[in-house]
Amino acid sequence: MSCKQIQELLPLYVGRDLEEKRERLVATHLEVCAACAAEANEYRESRQLLQEFAPPAVSEAVYANMRREVLRDIASSGPTFAETIANLFRPRLAWAMATVALIAFALFGVYLLRSGQPEPNQTVKGLVPTNQTVPYERRAAQPATPPSGSEPDHTARNQPRARRIYRNVIKERMGVVAMNVVKSSTLDRSVSPTAENPLSPPDEGKIMRVEMQTQDPNIRIIWFSQQNSKPITNSKGT
Amino acid sequence: MALALEIPLPVNALTQNQQTSLALLIEHAAAGDTAAFEQIMIHSQQRVMAMTWRMLGNEADARDASQEVFLRVYKYLGRFKQDRDFFAWLYGITMNVCRDSLKKRQHHTETFMSLSVDDSQEAQAVPSEQNDAVQVLIQAQRRELITRAMATLPYKERASIVLRDVEGLSTEEVARIMKSSATTVRSQVSSARKKIRDYCLRVARASRP
């Protein structure tokens, strides 16, 4: 290496800041070059001067006064608004707030999900309301006029209490959203119930047909019942 | 009157017991215990004062800066993590305060050196022997020389050389405090040493008859 290159490295060499390989190169050069060795000594002396660079002695009274001023400033100033806000985001408090927010969000989500489900007694759009007859493919003949007194009033408030309770149970437990009851003594008896035709009514006595539309639009329960006999329950799709 | 010289200790000079007690003091002070914080100040006031004096060059500015350093230490003590080196963290705050203080100065080269041989405490001391008086004078002149040399350095070079050569920190530690790289610190230290050496040579040649 040339003297110029060595002189560039001398400031770091005197402070042992060079990597080992370069340090050895410089040391070898200084052994044979008096000019570079003299310059290295100058760097060492100024560095030693710097290391002895001590400030003047400060009395304990000055230190005590400084501490007093600091403690007074601390006592007189509370946290600023920015510091108060910043303290909210300290690690522990931030974790606690995040946990509380997560729990609140979860509870709110559960509330939204539950309130989004339709009520059991709500009428789903497109379904049969309670005061209309459902048209079917095979439909029993309807009486032109219901016999006086024989057709029960389908409005809930005029029905016997037992029937009202029964209807409510059906609605709640079976998820029925609409129900229509047709009572007739002259239903079409030409089609007798068979395995292939389970929807046809029995051919004797007064027939009560109960049509119930569930919440699932694909499921409709048609229930034929003879008066004073057990009802025959048929359902589509089940 | 005895002459007191401050010899800065290297960062790792604390014993295990001292480190444990300092950690406890930091924990209490961070919780708001001002008595514990005062103990921390007593432990570190000399280092901080010496550092600010070396960076700012006069006692008045050094005192103000030291006060500001401790106020910031108290303010941010809650953020200090115990696995870090406390004094390295303290040096970082001190450097930031000194940098802010230097920026506020309009003519920092004029106010940097207010200490002259006549005003120094060492010069006013009554030496017991003539040799002591000569030594005191030499010491004061050397201090003045190096203080003026430091005044020629830009802030980053001055900070790097004080932390590296005066406080004895490693290049990596200095880089961490200065939020810089080891290569940059080495370059700044090299430049600072060269400038100080050149200044001392110039003064020496100028003083020759």
Would you list the DSSP string of A115-160? Answer: HHSPPTTPPPTTSPPTTSPPP-SS-PPPPSSPPTTTSPP-SGGGS-
Q: How far does A13 lie from chain B, in Å, by closest CA? A: 9
Measured between CB atoms, which of B6, B66, B189 is closest to A15? B189
Question: Average pLDDT, stretch B108-118?
Answer: 43
> Do B193 and A47 touch, CB atoms closer than 8 A?
yes
| For B125, nearest residue in chain A (alpha carbons) | A57
Query: Tell me, what amino acid is at A132?
Result: Q
Q: Which two tokens stand for residue B92?
A: 């970082």
Mean of all residue pLDDT scores within chain B: 80
Task: Give Cα separations from B8 to A67, A80, A172, B58, B98 (angstroms).
Answer: 20, 36, 87, 18, 18
State the Cα–Cα distance between residues B1 and A67, nearest whole angstrom: 25
| Phi-psi label, residue B171: left if phi above 0, alpha if psi -120 to 50, beta otherwise | alpha
pLDDT at A142 over 90: no
Which of the pair, A64 or A86, is modelled with greater confidence?
A: A64
Q: Which of B193, B195, B199, B200 to mutate to test the interface with A (most CBs of A within 10 A)?
A: B193
> Where residue B207 falls among pLDDT bands split at 50, 70, 90?
confident
State the Cα–Cα distance between residues B95 and B55, nearest whole angstrom: 8
% chain A with pLDDT above 70: 51
Mean of all residue pLDDT scores within chain A: 72
Q: Which of B45, B93, B197, B205 to mutate to test the interface with A (most CBs of A within 10 A)?
A: B197
Question: Average pLDDT, stretch A10-25?
Answer: 93
pLDDT at B85 over 60: yes
Question: Average pLDDT, stretch A188-217?
Answer: 62
Q: Which two tokens stand for residue A78?
A: 């509370």
Structure confidence at residue B120 (pLDDT): 42
Token look-up 């510091």 returns A83
Cβ of residue A68 closer than 8 Å to a chain B Cβ:
no
Paired strand residues for A207: A184, A226
Residue environment code for A56-66, b if the CB has 16+ CB neighbours within 10 A, otherwise e: bebeeeebeeb
> Do A47 and B165 touch, CB atoms closer than 8 A?
yes
Q: Which of A44-48, B117-121, B175-179 has the lowest mean pLDDT?
A: B117-121
For residue A172, how far is the Cα from the chain centroid?
Answer: 30
Structure confidence at residue B193 (pLDDT): 94
Q: Measured between beta carbons, which residues in chain B are less than 8 angstroms from residue A46?
A: 149, 193, 196-197, 200
For A232, list phi and psi in degrees, rounded to 5. Answer: -100, 120
Which of the pair, A186 or B74, is modelled with greater confidence?
A: B74
ipTM over 0.85: no
Which of the pair, B208 or A103, is modelled with greater confidence?
A: A103
pLDDT at B110 over 80: no
> Where residue A87 falls among pLDDT bands split at 50, 70, 90?
low
Question: Average pLDDT, stretch A220-237?
Answer: 64
Q: What is the pTM of this model?
A: 0.56
For A11, list phi and psi in degrees, rounded to 5. Answer: -55, -40
Question: Average pLDDT, stretch A107-131?
Answer: 65
pLDDT at B27 over 90: no
State the Cα–Cα distance between residues B96 and B69, nearest whole angstrom: 9
> Where residue A52 falls among pLDDT bands split at 50, 70, 90?
confident
pLDDT at A122 over 60: no
Question: Average pLDDT, stretch A135-161?
Answer: 49
Ranges of H-type helices in A15-78: 20-32, 34-51, 60-76
Question: Average pLDDT, stretch B174-192?
Answer: 94
